[in-house]
Amino acid sequence: MLTSARLRDLSAAGVDIGGHTVSHPILAGLPIEQAREEIQGGRAALAGILGQPPRIFAYPNGRRDQDYNDEHIQLVKEAGFEAAVVTNVGVAGEGTDLYQLPRFTPWDKSELRYMVRMAWNARRLVKHTIA
């Protein structure tokens, strides 16, 4: 979706470019060696473009036990990533697994729905921080 030059520009501007895979497969549907190649190959390709390896990984589709599992978490660690994100909506806090960080997606069907979701997620963050 982005050219190599644009990725380099974004990285030079301070944007942290994360890894994904080579071809966006659902890791749970692959033999383990092919999943390893996808994860390591994607990291190597980005390192070649950026001049440094990406630190963070995003599991394709990102749903636990449907799209990735414990074996894939181990592969991500072995590949040298420092953390990984999933598609579960949530707030990371103390004790959250660094290789299964939840996140909030920044899109919705309308501005009002987006604002309601932002407020809901902020409320969860406050509750989590206070608890």
Domains of the chain: 4-87 (3.20.20.370)
CB of 55 within 8 A of CB of 83? Answer: yes
The pTM score is 0.81
CA torsion sign for 35, 71, 20, 110 is: positive
Residue 30: pLDDT above 50? yes
CA angle 28/71/35 to nearest 5° reads: 50
Mean pLDDT, residues 12-18? 95
Cβ neighbours, 10 Å, residue 112: 9
pLDDT digits (tens, 9 = 90+) for 41-79: 999 999 999 999 999 999 999 999 999 999 999 999 999
